[in-house]
Structure 1
Amino acid sequence: MEKLALYIEVNQLRKRGFKIAAISKKLGISRNTVYKYLDMSFDEATDWVSTLKTRSKKLDPYRDIILVWLKEHPDLSSAQIEDWLKEKIPAIEVGSSTLRSYVSELRDSYHIPKVIRIRDHEAVDELPMGMQVQVDWGEMKVKTSLNKEVKLYFISFVLSHSRYKYVEWQDRPFTTRDTIRCHESAFQYFGGMPEEIVYDQDHLITVNENAGDIILTGDFQAYKQERSFRVYLCRKSDPQSKGKIENVVKFIKGNFAKNRVFFNLESWNEKCLAWLDRTGNQNVHNTTKKRPAEVHALEKQHLSPVSSLLSLESDLSNSITRSVHKDNVIKYKSNRYSLPLGTYRPKGNNTVYVEVKESELVIRATPQGDILARHRLGLGKGELIKNRNHGRDRSKGIEAFKETVIRQLSNSEQANQFIQEVGARYPRYMRDQLQVIQHTINQYRPFIDQALTHCVRDHLWSANDLRDVTQHLHRLTENELFPSPSFQEMKMTSTELKGTAQTRDLTTYIEIMGGLK
């Protein structure tokens, strides 16, 4: 109702004999507002309404950016706009109701309607602390910075009592081992494990449910036995039994992911964790009227503690991959671990495989390949765990390093040309390139000169190319030294392998040995 119309209605009801409390209840306004309108004359009310139209508002400095968001994404909710503002302007302080009113006025002024979808849910009794967590999967298509569409998959967890949430995303469908790994991450995030976990009838964890006899997949059955939690499997077409996680999936899609630009999976997961800290676990829950983070501080004490490692952790390592960053580190559970300089390739595959063994982190180039690095497992967050051997050799300058490398190569002319071309293409990574070359010389010295000739001839101006060619020549030599038996040789019969030694006269051997001339 407009302010002036509301003023007129209040005064008319008062003239008809309505009391202040009755007017307040009938019009849905506070008694203080009724008193304020009754104390005004009509001219004063008209002037006051006019000033409201020209008065500056707290959100006016952000009007343009909010309008851009609404015009580009008409289905944006006020809650999502509030989160986006907090993400871009962390210092902003504005109430949710203030922002809702402001967005509503903008929609009315610029004719940007919003489609509202309503879904009914049946109320479920609240569960005690530490009793239950609900789990569900979801998927969503998002746009990249190049306006291309990619499909992302996520798994979400919510503690039933506190509504404290955890989310993890992937750019490929989940496997059972991915699911187990995410359970471990969720338990670490929650600070413990509940007694019961609620699932939908998903093929990742169940094979069949026969009149209540649940048959789990082999991997998940082993995991359940080791962690000793109880599984509650929802019936088909019964979303009410896991309504909390249904709402969380909808909240993740609508508040975090919708209309957000995707750059890479790692930054997407980092932004999602920041969203959980900022909005997902901080906003007051509509049902409990409490902040999940505050209630979780109490519920955490009722969760069962979990060890950081499982005995079956090594079986899960095949699904753990990480990307090598430009500074030759990987990120694992909020910590950074160093790799030898030159591991990162400006153009090429920078995926490595991570394996956890007791308190050690092992990093490999391939699932069963050579070990690139070993580190102690960081137990904190934000740490840089670095091997000193992975650092740069600062005892000598770049020029001295170049001369050292060139002296170890037979063809100095080719060596000079190769080093010069590498320096022109990788000026910022020259020391890294030289270290890769030095490592290749040390490991494959017999083949380095031949590999250098190939690289110069084919214009392969990169230390990584030189290393790859050298390794290829090394493998070819190994195959020549240990050839596989031919088919004909394998068909030789035992009679063909037998032979008779030639018999010689004794004088022949004496002559060979230089005697009896």
Structure 2
Amino acid sequence: MEKLMIYNEIHRLKSQGFSNSQIARKLRISRNRVIDYGKMTPEEFFEFASSLQNRSKKLDPYHETIVRWLKEHPDLSGAQVLDWLEERLNVKSVSENTVRNYVNDIRETYHIPKQLPERDFGAVPELPMGQQMQVDFGELKVPTTAGSFKKLYFIGFILSHSRFKYVEWLDRPFQTTDLIHIQENAFRHFGGMTQEIVYDQDRLLAVSENAGDIIMTAEFTKYQQTRKFKVYLCRKADPQSKGKIEQVIKYVKNNFAKNRVFDNLPDWQEACMKWLKRTGNYKVHHNTKKRPSEVHALEKQHLQKVFGSYLFEKIFGTSITRKVHKDNVIRFGGNRYSVPLGTYRKGSQNIVHVQSDGQHLTVRLHPNGAVIARHVLSKEDGLIITDPSHRERSRSKRDQLIKQIEEMVPEKETIGWLIKQLAERYPRHLIDQLKIVQAAILTYPAFIEEALDEMKRLKLNSANDLRDIAISLEIQNRKKLKKTGIENEKYKNLAAPERKEDIYIRVLQGGSAQ
């Protein structure tokens, strides 16, 4: 009886335009169940319900145990129940989908709703006029006049004090140039610029945030330095930092875009601007109890004026960055595209630059560097696009190390000489020697070429010699700087290996550190 009520309620809500996710939240059931019930005709559902009553289930022997677990832990998911069955009762050969459906039936029968963890929030003090603007991205699929669906992307802006909003749409994923263009449009719409702008940690802006030190993309860094606004990057799902703009994104999706049919981008954008004037910025805000358009008239006087036009074409190209994942793929346009094995390196930033002409995707390690991957763009979603050559281990680990070291040192002849010496003297331990060379190059880049010249002059042929000479040269340089009264901060905490200093002197005089 209860399943029939849920079935009828699902179809009633669908007829009113609710999405599967909204229905699942309303009825507190899984989205998959909403989809399954929504596809069934009444006849199919009655046949399905009858079959449930007349058949035994794989998990019936564990029924009481699962009920007890759910009563003790109402927030248990089907995946967790499956894991507990395998761990505690050694249950095998049962699928996660079977467990999830069984758990849903138990919740209905015993009235055990799933309890989601709640987060405690505190009210954020209102910010003064002109201090902050928040920015975030949204996307959704909308029906078209052609009878299909199209994915649209938008950026929302809001002045934190007045709640005055601006929204702009695209029919493709955003690039850094798009963000900057649209932000300039937002400045014109608002009549000025705030002191601070709050963003999500999006790859269009930032490569990474290392313990609070923001590493922004080159394109956005140049723009930010030109306009001189303060950037604040917040963590994902952080309503304390950007709750205002998150509400705007939901407002645009559920009020403007919901049940609207797309024909072309200019008409859609024009309709959105009219909606902002009519509703988004005119309706009384539920927190401030004021109309954003009226408060904006006062806040506008406190915004910083933006002079001139930003010259995009003189600053950067059209490449965007993507992160390289551990399995040597990058994500672009809803798919994953391969890059050569070894592109991902543990401990590195693992950022590549990509360009798309609408037909092909080109990947480089540097904006103007050599192409490391080129793919035909897929029109489908959820695929892994692989170049077979990227998965061939064409080089051994030794060869890869040699290639990396050669790329790190401009003087090819000298580094080639050292690699040849190491290969002849340490054939069984060449990889270990190459790792020491690579570490020395990374640690002492300013002294490595001089150290190589000294090694060649003294006829030394060990990676440890290279490292020791580089350390000695850096120590001598530090002493020289101290004598001249120029103390460089980066040498203050320099720690050499546990060898006496006379070893380095002997090395430079022609002796061996071995």
Identify whether the pair has TM-score above 0.5, normalized to the shorter chain: no
- TM-score grouping bracket, smaller chain normalisation: 0.3 to 0.5
Q: Which has the larger radius of gyration?
A: 1
> TM-score under structure 2 normalisation?
0.39
